[in-house]
Amino acid sequence: MSSPLLAEATRIAREFDYPAAQVQRGVAEYIRQSNEGLAQENTTLSQIPTFVTAVPNGTEKGLYLAVDLGGTNFRVCSVQLHGDTTFSLTQSKIMIPRELMASGTSKDLFTFLARQIEAFLRIHHNEHFEAHKRRRREGKGEEELFDLGFTFSFPVRQNGINSGTLIRWTKGFNIPDAVGHDVCALLQSAIDDLDLPVRVAALVNDTVGTLMARSYTSPGETGTLLGAIFGTGTNGAYVEKIENISKLQHMKDAHFDTTTGEMIINAEWGSFDNQLSVLPNTVYDRDLDADSNNPGIQMFEKRVSGMFLGEILRRTLLALHKNPDVGIFKSASKASLSSDALLYRQWGLDTSLLSAVEADKSPDMIDIKTALKDHLNIENASNEDCEAVKILTHAIGKRAARLSAVAIAAVLIHTGKLQTDDIVDVGVDGSVVEFYPNFEDHLRTALREITEVGLAGEKKVRIGISKDGSGVGAALIALVASKDQTLRNPRE
């Protein structure tokens, strides 16, 4: 007979069950919300047109720059595309000073970014950089510019491949005077002030970059349909028929190439079902949301992504610890569970703990004990404590994977790609999908349970890790953009 602790852990774990019938309901509602987002603005599922109208096939060549402002680090890289599905990447990474993230002006931030681009060019492409400076001094006219893809992982309203206004900051940034402004223009202005041979050719969402990078490197004839990120956050971008994006007709300033008949849509699926009509909602989800800095939004992301899974687990463990009838970690030292202990601290538990717990197959659960010590400073956890942690971890991670299947399946069904005999290629990136044990297995199990996918459809889905969407993908989008703008700036 199981102990009161394990019985209670199992009871809580069952609250995270997400059975096939609920998955099916989720898929139907996702498709409904996605169609709504293609037709109008200000919907739960944003379905943002990216104005990227072609995916690569691996034969593209050239040298392109990419920068990535996605969080606390800023990355600058140059990408040499070899034209045979391979590439070479040179990059540098710098931490953004905290004062520029929240208290500075947009000019302070973008000048800092432009200076990093200048330093990168001096170190890695100095010959080109100096030649450009020389031609400028000698008044030799139009010189060849580096086309740059700007990965900007914050919500923007895009109205062209190289322009988009910032809707709001997330991830700890708060620079009010940038909101409502074109972030490409802000970066270009800072670049021009430093007289750099760089043109901001494309505004890139990291998920779109994931799709592009996968399409360049993936094997086979068909391009990649979907790029999905399951990491700190979650999002997806997919190839849509332009005729289905009816809201484009109302976008007065929109300009894009129509020749392919397709456009990549950035779903912004982290906000799927903010109204909670179909998403599961435990007391732990509700409390996490209420205590977050953006209550009521990104509800799908708060159940799926790495930023939140550790916090969900922490809240379940705290409930067990505070329950006088079961009390987890009773054998732990008092110091590790004092009132200021990590177990009591919001965001005190990193999602990498869940990966370590899920991976531990040893009978004495030594890796779980080590992980609890490393992450929560809990020493002397008993085997029973570890078993309870394992039960909860498994339930939370499995639910995240099954929810992920909802979004992927909805895109597969909506685009009709499963109706053909072709393999459907999906590029994924992010720490959860890459490192969380059995994540893809749970996801695929859920896909098979969906009526319109089934075993035959799931077998057609090829899921591949797409590394470096914000670098290679951004470079590829800059390439697409440079072709679109050849009249303005002839290139060799």
Distance from CA of residue 201 to its chain's centroid?
22
Q: Name the token pair of 165.
A: 């206004």
User: Which among 206, 385, 468, 484 is annotated as catalytic?
Assistant: 206
CA distance 118 to 145: 13
SS3 assignment, position 434: helix
Whether 484 is a known active-site residue: answer no
Position 406, amino acid: V
Which among 100, 153, 92, 79 has a CA at the least distance from the CA of 118? Answer: 92
Q: Which helix or strand (DSSP H or E) is residue 401 part of?
A: helix 383-415
List phi, psi (to 5°) of 241.
Answer: -70, 135
Q: How many residues does the chain have?
A: 492
From the candidates 11, 122, 136, 168, give the one annotated as an active-site residue. 168
Q: Under DSSP, is residue 295 helix (H, G, I), strand (E, B) or coil?
A: coil
CA 431 to chain centre: 10
Written as one letter, the residue type at 165 is T
Instruction: Sort 6 into a burial class: Cβ within 10 Å, 0-12 / 13-18 / 19+.
Output: middle
Distances (CA, A) of 417 to 240, 259, 407, 424, 425: 11, 21, 15, 7, 10
Both tokens assigned to 110:
């973008």
Contact 112, 96 (CB under 8 A): yes
Running DSSP on this structure, what letter comes out for residue 279?
S
Q: What angle do CA 424, 278, 437 make, to 5 degrees?
A: 50
* Active-site residue, 277 included: no
Q: For residues 335 and 325, give the distance between their C-alpha atoms in angstroms, rounded to a whole number.
A: 22
Structure tokens at 141: 């006219």
Of 34, 78, 106, 153, which residue is the catalytic one?
A: 153
Residue 153 annotated among the catalytic residues of the structure:
yes
Residue numbers annotated as active site:
153, 168, 206
